[in-house]
Amino acid sequence: MRALTYHGKKDVRVDTHPDPGIVNPRDAIIKITATAICGSDLHLYDGVIPGLMAGDILGHEFMGEVVETGPGSTLKKGQRVVVPFTISCGSCFFCEKQQYSACDNSNPVEKREMSETLYGQPMSGLFGYSHMTGGYPGGQAEYVRVPFSDVGPIVIENDDLEDEKVLFLSDILPTGWMAAENAAIEGGDTVAVWGAGPVGLFAAQSAKVMNAERVIVIDHHPHRLELAKGLGCETLNFREVDVREALLEMTGGIGPDAVIDAVGMEAHGFAIDNMLDVAKQTVGIGADRASALKQALLACRKGGRVSIPGVYGGMTDKFPLGALMEKGLKIGTGQTHVQRFTHLLLGLIEEGKIDTTFLISHRLPLEEAPDGYYNFRNYQNEWTKVVLKPGT
Amino acid sequence: MKAPKPRTALAIGAAAIGLLALARSSARDAPAATGDAPGRTARRERFGRYRVVGKTVTVAKPSRAELFDFWRDFTNLPAFMENLNAVRPLSEGRWEWEIVAPGETSVTVVTEIASERAGELIAWRSVEGSRIDTEGRVAFRDAPGGRGTQVELVVAYVPPAGQAGVAIAKLLQREPAQQARRDLRRFKALMETGEIPTSDNRIETEKA
Ligand SMILES: NC(=O)c1ccc[n+]([C@@H]2O[C@H](COP(=O)([O-])OP(=O)(O)OC[C@H]3O[C@@H](n4cnc5c(N)ncnc54)[C@H](O)[C@@H]3O)[C@@H](O)[C@H]2O)c1
Ligand SMILES: [Zn+2]
Ligand SMILES: [Zn+2]
């Protein structure tokens, strides 16, 4: 089969690999009809997440048709499914608590120890990501092997829902939703969202659905900010204004009740600490760039809530711990527990309460995936979300 | 108690069982050092001639009795112990363990049950004359809060001295602590999910 393959920093190509097969009883094989490039893939592309190897197949946002099932799978051939990017066994302590991205079993024993060293405990397996999270071949491919297929995939029964309406159930839609849940929104709240990428926009949309009174989205790409406006949000361009000052003024001197960092470890910006962090990342001594998060912590009102869907992989320097402690902020974060939200969100899509298609700017055949990566990274303003269609 | 005869299985067994006890609760000689922590988490690895490694996992299901029964049938162990080819029952409660050894096809160790309490504990040790002087113990106890069963695996072994076979030396240098940890986690995965997760995309077909 053909699959988007990591060769090295900023070097991905579509190569031929052996087709996947059933390995474990609960596996299924999916023929992929649509798959997307994610901001998390850009962290891999830029080489700032450890544990990726040349030859790895990327992609963790995908859907398709079931073509083969193991004896323990509950799926049937021919079913249309969207697959969560978190691989979860469904039966461990964490899965029972619906903390799927903390699954104790899905990250293979011999792969998980690096994340254990780094984080104290090992994390779950993820598709198409680092070997720290299992090194599972991803879904920017013609076929993918899906372990624990009786737990993760959600079957789309309604054929009127085209792929583009449901594909994002695999990651960014639940991620935006969980980000808003972690902001513990109350009536009358003002929520500030850093990053008008897919995650930030879906978080903003979810915050609206959860009855936030105002949502303010911060970015520097005018077109992305336009999309936020389209969702009924207010916007700030961080290159044009002093973000903290602007937020304070816009909230009558109080500060936002909740802040959401939908930027993660590759924040842009010219603050001095960020420039130092860029330098360290470039020479490979790997401090996470956390300038958006630092700004969010300072901007948040006293006793407010901090939600961090943006991905961080390691350590960061000059963290404003005092702001966090002295103001008594509450933090919610994590890789998304995707399986917890898929049914709820499918319902909201069917009711028309949530739209996902506004985000898609480009549709490409799988063979053009490397261009997709390049442009999604370098022309973020216009390239807001790339959907790849194998077999076209 | 009999006077210990050096290098007899009984003496070694008794000594090492003592070590396992030591590894389990706080050490007699160093209670202040570990508080309530297992003695083996102390910042040392050797207890006399023995090196002791071990790990605890919590297994959500099935029941403690079922976990115990699965383990008690030693022929099941190769399903999750990476360096075991096979375990075969012999007469008189002995078992023959066929261990994968680098450079050789395998090393065989015969063990006997050192002690057993149904649903709670199985301890085994190598018999006299074995090429590897080792013993192991697995304990099962209810986890607090109805979280299932805490399963603790402790393995003690004598690191090979100069006269030991090169293969055995290599085998034991292949990180027994890592081996024990990974084996136990595979056991947990197999019990909880019915399979051992892998990111391999296909079963490697053997070359004809
Ligand atoms: N928690 C999860 O499970 C999960 C899932 C998916 C993605 N993510 C993470 O969410 C983050 C965003 O993903 P995405 O797909 O939207 O990525 P993206 O790269 O498309 O969007 C990031 C946006 O942040 C903006 N930005 C950069 N620096 C900023 C700053 N200092 N202030 C304000 N905005 C800034 C960029 O201009 C860009 O528009 C990434 O870190 C990604 O890894 C997390
Ligand atoms: Zn993603
Ligand atoms: Zn699990």
Question: Given an 8 Å threshold on Cβ–Cβ distance, is B202 in contact with A23?
Answer: yes
The angle at the Cα of A237, spanning A278 to A358, to the nearest 5 degrees, equals 100
Higher pLDDT, B3 or B181: B181
Distance of alpha carbon A322 from alpha carbon A328, whole angstroms: 10
Is A23 close to B182, i.e. CB distance below 8 A? Answer: no
Q: Which atom of ligand 1 is nearest to the CA of A198?
A: 16
Q: Is B202 on the interface with A (CB under 8 A)?
A: yes
Residue B195 contacts A, CB cutoff 8 Å = yes
Q: How big is chain A by its Cα radius of gyration, in Å?
A: 20
Cα of B189 from ligand 3 centre, angstroms: 9
Q: In whole angstroms, what is the distance from residue A260 CA to residue A219 CA?
A: 13
pLDDT tens digits, A90-145: 999 999 999 999 999 999 999 998 888 888 999 999 999 999 999 999 999 999 99
Q: Give me the residue label for tokens 């898929």.
A: A342
> Which residue lies with its CA nearest to atom 11 of ligand 1?
A310
Q: Measured in angstroms, how far is the CA atom of residue A99 from the centroid of ligand 3?
A: 8
Count of helices and strands (H, E) across chain A: 13, 17
Tell me which residue has its CA closest to atom 6 in ligand 1: A172
| pLDDT higher at B4 or A392 | A392
Average pLDDT over residues A163-186: 98
Residue nearest to atom 15 of ligand 1 (CA): A39
Asked if residue B204 has pLDDT above 90, the reply is no
pLDDT tens-digit series, residues B53-109: 889 999 999 999 999 999 999 999 999 998 899 999 999 889 999 988 777 678 899
Are A176 and A42 spatial neighbours (Cβ–Cβ below 8 Å)? no
pLDDT at B31 > cutoff 70: no
Shortest Cα–Cα distance, B188 to chain A (Å): 8
| Domains parsed from chain B with CATH numbers | 13-32+45-193 (3.30.530.20)
pLDDT of residue B174: 65
SS3 of residue A67 by DSSP: strand
CA dist list (Å): B50 to A81, B45, B132, B169, B204: 54, 8, 12, 14, 38
Confidence of residue A276 (pLDDT cuts 50, 70, 90): low
- The distance in angstroms from the start CA to the end CA of chain A is 14
- Cα B129–chain centre separation: 19
Distance from CA of A11 to the nearest CA of B (A): 23
Contacts of B201 in chain A (CB under 8 A): 17-18, 20-21, 23, 137, 145
pLDDT at A160 over 90: yes
pTM: predicted TM-score of the whole model, two decimal places = 0.89
Residue B202 has its nearest CB partner, among A21, A93, A104, at A21
Is B118 an interface residue toward A (CB < 8 Å)?
no
Structure tokens at B167: 């293969």
What residues of chain B, 157 to 186, have a C-beta less than 8 Å from chain A?
A: 178, 182, 185-186
B193–A26 C-beta distance less than 8 A: yes
pLDDT category of residue A155 using cuts at 50, 70 and 90: very high
Residue of higher predicted confidence among B51 and B151? B151
Q: Identify residue A279 by its one-letter amino acid code.
A: A
Written in H, E and C, the secondary structure of chain B is CCCCCCCCHHHHHHHHHHHHHHHHCCCCCCHHHHCCCCHHHCCCCEECCEEEEEEEEEECCCCHHHHHHHHHCHHHHHHCCCCEEEEEECCCCEEEEEEECCCCCEEEEEEEEEEEECCCEEEEEECCCCCCCEEEEEEEEECHHHCCEEEEEEEEECCCCCCCCHHHHHHHHCCHHHHHHHHHHHHHHHHHHCCCCCCCCCCCCCCC
Q: Which residues contact A19 (CB under 8 A, 6 or more apart)?
A: A1, A142, A143, B202
Q: What three-state secondary structure class fits A14?
A: strand
Residues surrounding ion ligand 2 at CB below 5 Å: A 38, 40, 171
- Phi, psi of A192, deg, nearest 5: -105, 135
Nearest chain B residue to A134 by CA distance is B199
In this structure, which amino acid lies at residue B19? Answer: L
Hey, what domains does chain A have and what are their CATH numbers? 2-171+336-389 (3.90.180.10), 177-333 (3.40.50.720)
Going by C-beta distance under 8 Å and a sequence separation of 6 or more, which residues neighbour residue A95? A88, A89, A103, A104, A151
- A-chain residues within 8 Å CB-CB of B60? 91-93, 96
A360: three-class secondary structure by DSSP:
coil
Q: Which residues of B74-92 are buried (b: 16+ CB within 10 A; e: fewer)?
A: beebbebbebbeebeeeee
A307 bridge partner residues: A260, A332
Give A274-281 contacts, CB < 8 A, sequence gap 24+.
A276/A317, A277/A316, A277/A317, A280/A317, A281/A48
Which of B187, B198, B203 should one mutate to test binding to chain A, selecting the residue with the greatest count of A CBs within 10 A?
B198
Count of beta carbons in the 10 Å neighbourhood of residue B96: 14
A269 lines ligand 1 (CB under 6 A): yes
pLDDT in tens, A195-231: 999 999 999 999 999 999 999 999 999 999 999 999 9
Whether ligand 1 lies within 6 angstroms of the CB of A219 is answered as yes
What single-letter DSSP state applies at residue A78?
A: T
User: Tens of pLDDT along A236-273?
Assistant: 999 999 999 999 999 999 999 999 999 998 777 555 55
Ligand 1 lined by A262 (C-beta under 6 Å): yes
Mutant choice from A27, A94, A104 vs B, greatest count of B C-beta within 10 A: A104
DSSP classification of residue A186? -
Asked whether the beta carbons of A306 and A261 are under 8 A apart, the reply is yes
CB atoms within 10 A of CB A278: 18
| pLDDT of amino acid A153 | 98
| Token pair belonging to B51 | 């090196």
Strands (E), A275-329: 305-308
pLDDT at B207: 39
Residues sharing a CB contact under 8 Å with residue A312, sequence separation 6 or more, in sequence order: A264, A265, A288, A290, A293
What are the φ/ψ torsions at residue A173 (nearest 5 degrees)? -70, -50
Q: How confident is the model at residue B21 (pLDDT cuts 50, 70, 90)?
A: very low
Arithmetic mean of pLDDT over chain A = 94
Residue to mutate among A93, A143, A150, with most B CBs inside 10 A, is: A93
Q: Confirm or reject: Cβ of A335 under 6 Å from ligand 1.
A: yes
**Dist. CA A309–CA A311, nearest whole Å:** 6
At residue B22, the pLDDT reads 41
Contact, A130 vs A51, CB < 8 A? Answer: yes
Residues on chain B touching A136 (C-beta within 8 angstroms): 199
pLDDT > 60? residue B19:
no
**Which residue does chain B place closest to A106, by CA atoms?**
B197
Q: What is the least distance, in Å, from the CA of B129 to any CA of chain A?
A: 33
pLDDT tens digit string along A53-81? Answer: 999 999 999 999 999 999 999 999 999 99
> Do A262 and A182 form a contact (C-beta atoms < 8 A)?
no
DSSP strand pairing (B149-157 vs A154-155): unpaired
What is the CA(A169)–ligand 1 centre distance, in A?
Answer: 17
Query: Nearest Cβ partner of A92 from B192, B196, B203?
Result: B192
Task: Tell me the CA distances in angstroms from A45 to A120, A197, A275, B76, one per residue in order.
Answer: 26, 17, 20, 43
Mean per-residue pLDDT over chain B, rounded: 79
User: Taking phi first (over 0 means left), then psi (-120 to 50 degrees means alpha), and beta for anything else, what does residue B99 get?
Assistant: beta
Which of A18, A105, A136 is nearest residue B193 as measured by Cβ atoms? A105
Closest residue by CA, ligand 1 atom 10: A310
Q: What is the per-residue pLDDT across A375-385, written as a single tens digit (0 to 9) for each?
A: 999 999 999 99
Identify the residue whose tokens are 């984080």.
A119
Q: What is the pLDDT of residue B10?
A: 33
Tens digit of each residue's pLDDT (9 = 90 or more) over A6-52: 999 999 999 999 999 999 999 999 999 999 999 999 999 998 888 99
Rg of chain B in Å (alpha carbons): 17
pLDDT score for A278: 60
Q: Which residue has the tokens 């190897």?
A: A53
What are the structure tokens assigned to A147, written together?
A: 């372990």
* Cβ contacts of A96 on chain B, cutoff 8 Å: 60
Q: What is the pLDDT of residue B173?
A: 61
Percent of chain B at pLDDT > 90 equals 48
